[in-house]
């Protein structure tokens, strides 16, 4: 059991590192970031805080919304709230800002692959859903709102707010929105999750 937990924790940490790195690639590509990160980027622009720092702050605010939904965070939930933002700050500082569209597209593709691989590892660890995903599942369980409707409503809302705050909407936003589901399905199978977890995660990915 201890060996299994160590393996799951390692997968979780590596997955979250990949997710944070992927966001940094999207930001440096400068051709649009994922929907939630339009919101994070907008807050960053207005406050002067690093994007990763904003990710952490927003994650904990979202966790407060878990209380009325009677959700319990797991170890992976807490790690998600903290680690992705920390990694994003570090990696964004290390990456150059490309000035050619071919390199920007390469950065965007690298971001997609990092986030997809990170998601497969993190979800496969089964140590608790992330703050934002847990919110969608909680709305579904508590009020019967479909995961698709909850996700779409929340993501469109935060994205629109982010645009008004100065977040970057562009090609990368739409590539992520339509491409991340199929890619995560592939990584879930590559990382050999338990059959029941694969089925549940694939269903959620298809609803994005």
pLDDT one-digit tens code per residue, 153-193: 888 999 999 999 999 899 999 999 889 888 988 888 888 65
d(CA 157, CA 139): 16
Nearest Cα neighbor of 133 from 119, 144, 114 is 119
- Which band of pLDDT confidence, cut at 50, 70 and 90, is reported for residue 198? very low
For helices 147-165 and 35-47, the axis angle rounded to 10 degrees is 30
Question: At 36, is the secondary structure helix, strand, or coil?
Answer: helix
Nearest Cα neighbor of 15 from 149, 206, 201, 158 is 201
pLDDT the model gives residue 45: 93
pTM, two decimals, is: 0.86
In this structure, the dihedral spanned by the alpha carbons of residues 103, 107, 113 and 117, taken in order and rounded to 10 degrees, is 140
Q: What's the pLDDT tens digit per position in 88-120?
A: 999 999 999 999 999 999 999 999 999 999 999
pLDDT the model gives residue 196: 52
Across the chain, mean pLDDT equals: 88
């Amino acid at each position: 059991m201890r060996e299994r937990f160590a393996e799951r924790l390692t997968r979780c940490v590596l997955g979250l590192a990949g997710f944070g790195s992927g966001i940094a690639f999207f930001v440096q590509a400068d051709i649009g970031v994922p929907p939630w990160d339009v919101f994070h980027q907008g807050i960053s622009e207005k406050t002067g805080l690093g994007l990763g720092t904003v990710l952490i702050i927003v994650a904990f605010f979202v966790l407060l919304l878990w209380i009325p939904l009677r959700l319990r965070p797991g170890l992976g939930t807490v790690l998600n709230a903290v680690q992705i933002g920390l990694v994003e700050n570090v990696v964004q500082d290390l990456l150059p800002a490309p000035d050619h569209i071919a390199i920007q597209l390469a950065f965007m593709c690298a971001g997609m692959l990092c986030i997809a691989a990170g998601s497969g590892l993190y979800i496969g660890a089964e140590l608790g859903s992330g703050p934002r995903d847990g919110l969608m599942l909680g709305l579904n369980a508590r009020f019967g709102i479909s995961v698709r409707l909850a996700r779409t409503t929340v993501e469109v809302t935060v994205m629109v707010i982010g645009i008004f705050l100065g977040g970057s909407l562009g090609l990368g936003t739409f590539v992520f929105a339509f491409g991340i589901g199929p890619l995560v399905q592939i990584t879930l199978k590559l990382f050999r999750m338990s059959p029941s977890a694969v089925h549940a995660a694939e269903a959620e990915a298809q609803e994005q």
